Amino acid sequence: MYFIFEINFSSNKTYIAELIRAYAKQKEIEVDVLQTNDKIIMTFNRDDEKLEKFLLGLEDVLPASLFLGKGKHYFSEDKPTLMPLETITLPLNIAPCPTCQKEMFDVSSRRYFYPFTSCNNCGSQHPFLTKYPYTRANTTMKFLVPCNACEEERKNNALRKDYPLISCIECGIGLRMLDRETEHMALNKGDYRKLFKASAGAIASGKTVLMKTMHGYRKFFNPNRDLEAIKNISFSPNSLENNLAGQQYSFDKSGKENVALSTLLMVSAAGFNEHLMMVEQEFNALLSIERPLLRVATKSDVLKKLYGSSVQVKYPDDGMTMLLAGEAIKHGLEFIAYIECDNTEEADFLVDFDMPINTQKDMKIFINQDTKLFVSGERILFPTQVQGNRNRVSVAHDLACVEVDGKRIIDSLEVFDSVDTDEIYVLENEDFESGHSNEHRFEQYKASMMSVLAEHHKVGQKAIGVHFDGSLNFLYYNGKTVINAVPPIPFESDNLWEKIRTLREGSDRLVGNYKKAYPEVWERLDNLQGDMDIFEVTAITLGLEDESFEGISAEALSFLGKGGLQIDTRVKDNRFDNYAFLTSIMSYQLGDVENNFMCYSIYESFGDYIGEIVPQLCDKVGSNIVTLTGETFANQSLYGRIQRTLGQKNPIMSKNFPIGKENAVHGALYL
């Protein structure tokens, strides 16, 4: 008789299953760990006396994860015989696991305040990868020789057995902290601790700290500082060993950061309920080992004043930010802020290390009740292994799908050497020249739709698709190719007023009235340059600080009412007309409609329009398969409206890839 414990796990990532295996080896208990496409199954001998203690201890070892779902247990006479996932060792880029975190904060550990602490199943591994296969010789750590203690661990520690990046303070990466006059090197446990203590003290005192993290350079600051009070603080940049208070400093840069466009780093989970308005799923996602970016509603007056109705939030996501956050809490901070930048950004202090890193774009996610969608980015999801039966390389958004040792891997272009392939598919407008005799260019919307169909095993079946990413396209897949069935009327931002003036009868009066009411906006729109999408122009029209789709979404999130205005979305042939859309917004603006109500109404109107067109197309082609792709769907009001208008069609979206542009490299395998 077997005792079987199942946990739902909606990913092909194997770090949770591997952590379970490693912990079982440490506790010397026999367990078969099987991972399938949607679950992890642990099979034990029912009478094993270590079973209860093992399961209780597992709670302390396993991290929270975006992919973990509900668990169940049962008894069975037979072992499960499900098909396991095909696996390959790929470098991770997630937060340290609970065991590695304990080491970083344990003064008796060789890794006390060592920010590069990780194991086979956690941490920032991908930043150090230079090429495949993933071995120490193919990472930037190849120049560091492990000490005797690390070598012993690599042989005997189940968590770090044969781990390519094993290191500690004794043999690992050194840190330094600089200001305009001095340089402070971290050479031992005490130095590492003082460096992070000094950094947190500087931020608490109103200074800025440019820190190289495993995700690139971030400029940290206190968004809630009282600027007048800071001017009077005495402070010494040379006193790195103390908490940076009590002497003189120059107030020359503090306050220049654009707080509203920064990312809020919650250094303490205790402050979540006080400052943010979140559902349980959002709270769990932020604290998961994957540490995604998430836009949530603000709650406290201080955050509303700093960020408005919503803010982009992170919880410490690597060793550098975790150690900084730990010290920031001791300075009474509940949150700090950062902007992503490069090493030329001006700041009062620089915390740096000499090891080159290969950064990934952070992953934004969207949550609506129990639905989690990856919106855009690379970290967490890439690298990944995919299936394919063609000798084809695909390239899109600096990502590539390449065969390595018989396995197809999607990762950043720079980690692949040259490869033999029959054909190469490259996204249109991608700055990449392969020189291959059989190179094909493809459109984003086609690849995005094919990615979703492939994930849901619908390739070869007729389907209708909606691709909404700056512009709105209705697609038809006939089982062989994707056709843009209802393309939008092209939008060009130059000569905007002339296009609006000639749209329909009475439009010229609108232009005149708008110029009188909003002369500054009128002039700005009259001098637009470059290729701008409709959401950027709309944000400018409404005077939003964040002139983007993200800015409109944030504004819509602040509307707490129900039911919106009807924004015009079409003129003829059911095609989306950007100019009619913009004209409708301007008309409401002249009628003194509030911005948040307007932004909310924009997405509701799009939802109604999509809900009207899609069923018509489904009836015409005789298919009820509907795909949704594009970042624009990551909006609460639009997503909710789509659920109401298309719910009976059960539209499908990307599960293991972003719903935005990064799924193209996968979908191109099926074009």
Q: Model confidence over 127-183: pLDDT tens digits?
A: 999 999 999 999 999 999 999 999 999 999 999 999 999 999 999 999 999 987 788
**Residues in contact with 261: Cβ distance below 8 Å, sequence separation at least 6, in sequence order:** 339, 545, 546
CA–CA dist 195, 351 (Å, integer): 8
State phi, psi for 64 to the nearest 5 degrees. Answer: -70, 150
Element (H, E) at 31: strand 31-35
- Residue found by looking up tokens 């769907």 in the block: 633
Each residue of 356-399: pLDDT tens digit? Answer: 999 999 999 999 988 999 999 999 999 999 988 889 999 999 99
* Edge-to-edge strand list for the sheet holding 68-76: 31-35, 39-45, 2-9, 68-76
CA–CA distance from 9 to each of 12, 94, 380 (Å)? 8, 16, 15
CA–CA distance from 440 to each of 116, 383, 490, 664 (Å)? 41, 24, 24, 14
Element (H, E) at 497: helix 496-501
Record the pTM.
Answer: 0.89
CA–CA distance from 75 to each of 34, 80, 272 (Å)? 16, 11, 40
Provide the residue type at 540 as one letter.
I
SS3 assignment for 548-586: CHHHHHHHHHCCCCCCCCCCCCECCCCCEEHHHHHHHHH
The pLDDT > 90 percentage for the chain reads 68
Q: Are 575 and 581 in contact (CB under 8 A)?
A: no
CA–CA dist 77, 569 (Å, integer): 61
Q: Are 528 and 493 in contact (CB under 8 A)?
A: yes
What was the pLDDT predicted at 234?
A: 35
Residue of 202, 284, 278 whose CA lies nearest to 247? 202
Please identify every stretch of the chain with a pLDDT value under 70, giving residue numbers as ranges: 226-257, 563-564, 569-574
Residue of 557, 644, 502, 70 whose CA lies nearest to 511? 502
**Residue 496 has which token pair?**
């905007």
CA–CA dist 633, 601 (Å, integer): 15
| Domains of the chain as residue ranges with CATH | 2-76 (3.30.70.260), 175-352 (3.90.870), 459-651 (3.30.420.40)
**β 392-396/399-404 pair status:** antiparallel
Provide the residue type at 308 as one letter.
G
SS3 assignment for 232-266: CCCCCCCCCCCCCCCCCCCCCCCCCCCHHHCEEEE
What was the pLDDT predicted at 237?
A: 38
**Residue 45 has which token pair?**
């001998």
In angstroms, how far is CA 280 from the centroid of its own chain? 19
Other CB atoms within 10 A of residue 113 CB: 27
State phi, psi for 439 to the nearest 5 degrees. Answer: -100, 135
In angstroms, how far is CA 106 from the centroid of its own chain? 30
Q: Are 663 and 657 in contact (CB under 8 A)?
A: yes
In the beta sheet, which residues pair with residue 376? 364
Asked if omega into 488 is within 30° of 0 (cis), the reply is no
Residue of 155, 664, 195, 140 whose CA lies nearest to 446? 664
Residue of 371, 224, 424, 281 whose CA lies nearest to 413? 424
Q: Which CB contacts under 8 angstroms, 24+ apart, belong to 546-555?
A: 546/260, 546/261, 549/470, 549/631, 549/632, 550/295, 552/599, 552/602, 553/295, 553/599, 553/603, 553/634, 553/635, 554/295, 554/308, 554/309, 554/310, 555/308, 555/309, 555/595, 555/596, 555/599
Q: Are 420 and 392 in contact (CB under 8 A)?
A: no
Asked if omega into 383 is within 30° of 0 (cis), the reply is yes
Provide the residue type at 487 as one letter.
P
For residue 142, the 8-state DSSP code is G
CA–CA dist 317, 631 (Å, integer): 23
Return the half-sphere exposure (C-beta side, CA atoms, 13 A cut-off) of residue 131. 7
Return the half-sphere exposure (C-beta side, CA atoms, 13 A cut-off) of residue 379. 27
Q: Are 57 and 27 in contact (CB under 8 A)?
A: yes
CA–CA dist 237, 348 (Å, integer): 8
Could you tell me how many residues make up the chain?
Answer: 671
CA–CA dist 269, 326 (Å, integer): 11
Is residue 398 classed exposed, middle or buried when 0-12, 13-18 and 19+ CB atoms within 10 A define those classes? Answer: middle
Residue of 569, 650, 627 whose CA lies nearest to 603? 569
State phi, psi for 272 to the nearest 5 degrees. Answer: -60, -55
What was the pLDDT predicted at 440?
A: 95
Provide the residue type at 251 as one letter.
F
CA–CA dist 74, 7 (Å, integer): 12
**Residue 574 has which token pair?**
């059911």
